[in-house]
Amino acid sequence: MLFISNHPGRRREITMSETCVLSVIVPVYNEEESLPYLCPRLLKTLDGMHRPYEIIFVNDGSRDASLKMLLDFHKANPGKVRVVDFNGNFGQHMAIMAAFGETDGEYVITLDADLQNPPEEIPKLVAKMVEGFDVVGTVRSKRKDSLFRKAASRIVNRTTGLLTGMRLNDYGCMLRGYHRDVVDVMTASDEVSTFIPALAQLYARRSVEIDVAHEERAEGESKYSLLRLVRLNFDLMTGFSLVPLQLFGPLGFVTALLGVGFGAFLLVRRIVIGSEVEGVFTLFALAFMVMGVIMAGVGMVGEYVGRIYQQVRGRPRFLVRRVHGGREER
């Protein structure tokens, strides 16, 4: 059992579903070509696990026949399949956050609809959660992507790890498992924009990463353009680290010191050698000093804005898993 709190002395209990079921979330955006292959494979995999389960599809504003196909799949499998229909395209992570609020399972799996992560890998994630891990991340082994996407992914993973301090080897793989407690905390965080794998890692008590298979996209094309990938990674960096803001302060002070040093050098040179070009070097020195002061000021403002940003995001300030000797044990 977990408690969350945004204010000292005020706690809100997060309860876990009494029924132990598996929830699988699949965000869908224009995947009419992949759905006929995904649905049978997903059902076969989940039926073979011999656990009560539910599948929640989120139609993220698809413009093709995806919604109709999902509704047909829902009618053919009543009680097992649900469909959340968005009013527009709000993005993959918002689709998953919306589905979190609809799940009943103790174990929650997220899966892309493009079949690049095979649904047959789901039992491996559940097995790890049964062992006691509350967040199970995945790393795509023998990744079937272009050299450009693989190289870009490595750069982003390493850069993001340095900025956020989180050790995740594959931020882009959305085949992941979350325990009910972590899902409830993420749902309660109520952030306008977020990056779910990093948010889960922030709240995880025990997390692990495992290797999973990766396949080429069988049908259709990726819905993530270069611009959307850049935007997503900006959300990740700015949502989980103040380092980009904090860098301006030290950089500004270093620039200001260089300006002062350059000015002192020009002064000594003027005394020893005499006037060379009237006012030009002095102007450069002053310009460096002014730029340094401005950048230092921006850095200081950024520090305060970052603190305000952290305060208004509404994330829980702390988590209490158990109170020994508390009211629950009396």
What are the pLDDT digits (tens) for 202-235?
888 888 989 898 877 665 565 555 566 566 666 6
In this structure, are 108 and 148 located in the same domain?
A: yes
Q: What is the pLDDT of residues 286-296, one digit of tens each?
A: 777 777 777 77
Is the pLDDT confidence value at 318 over 90?
no
Distance between CA atoms of residues 86 and 94, nearest Å: 10
In this structure, are 227 and 207 located in the same domain?
A: yes
Residue 292 CB partners (closer than 8 Å, separation 6+): 252, 253, 254, 255, 256, 257, 258, 259
Most confident of 58-67, 120-129, 240-249, 300-309: 120-129
Structure tokens at 318: 């702390």
Domain membership flag for residue 282: yes
In this structure, are 213 and 249 located in the same domain?
A: no
In this structure, are 189 and 279 located in the same domain?
A: no
Domain membership flag for residue 328: no
Which residue has better confidence, 322 or 212?
Answer: 212
Say what the pLDDT of residue 9 is.
Answer: 40
Domain span at 278: 243-312
Is the pLDDT confidence value at 182 over 80?
yes
In this structure, are 67 and 122 located in the same domain?
A: yes
Final residue in a domain of this structure, among 198, 222, 240: 240
Q: What is the pLDDT of residues 253-307, one digit of tens each?
A: 777 777 778 778 777 877 777 666 556 666 776 777 777 777 777 766 776 777 6
Structure tokens at 297: 């000021």
Confidence of residue 92 (pLDDT cuts 50, 70, 90): confident
DSSP string, 35-97: HHHHHHHHHHHHHTTTS-EEEEEEE-S-SSSHHHHHHHHHHHSTTTEEEEE-SS---HHHHHH
Are 319 and 185 in contact by the 8 Å Cβ rule? The answer is: yes
- For residue 150, CA distances in Å to 142, 144, 164, 178 come to 11, 9, 21, 26
Distance between CA atoms of residues 83 and 62, nearest Å: 13
Which residue has better confidence, 146 or 88?
Answer: 88
DSSP string, 100-153: HTT---SEEEE--TTSSS-GGGHHHHHHHHHTT-SEEEEEETT--S-HHHHHHH
- Length of the chain, please? 330
Say what the pLDDT of residue 272 is.
Answer: 78
Domain membership flag for residue 40: yes
In this structure, are 118 and 180 located in the same domain?
A: yes
In this structure, are 235 and 308 located in the same domain?
A: no
In this structure, are 94 and 146 located in the same domain?
A: yes
Q: What percentage of the chain carries pLDDT values higher than 90?
A: 24
In the block, which residue shows the tokens 């047909």? Answer: 72
Domain membership flag for residue 326: no
Is the pLDDT confidence value at 36 over 90?
yes
The structural domain count of the chain equals 2
In this structure, are 163 and 216 located in the same domain?
A: yes
Mean pLDDT value across the chain: 75
Of 116, 96, 260, 267, the closest CA to residue 178 belongs to: 96
Most confident of 2-11, 24-33, 270-279: 24-33
In this structure, are 13 and 80 located in the same domain?
A: yes
Q: What is the DSSP letter of 19?
A: S
Are 93 and 104 in contact by the 8 Å Cβ rule? The answer is: no
Final residue in a domain of this structure, among 218, 240, 262: 240
| Rounded mean pLDDT, 4-10 | 40
Say what the pLDDT of residue 192 is.
Answer: 60
Q: What is the pLDDT of residues 103-134, one digit of tens each?
A: 889 999 999 998 888 999 999 999 999 999 99
Confidence of residue 8 (pLDDT cuts 50, 70, 90): very low
Confidence of residue 78 (pLDDT cuts 50, 70, 90): confident
Domain membership flag for residue 318: no
In this structure, are 91 and 212 located in the same domain?
A: yes
Is the pLDDT confidence value at 96 over 80?
yes
Q: How many helices (H) and strands (E) in the chain?
A: 11, 10
Side chain identity at residue 272, one-letter code: V
For β-strands 81-85 and 107-110, DSSP reports them as unpaired
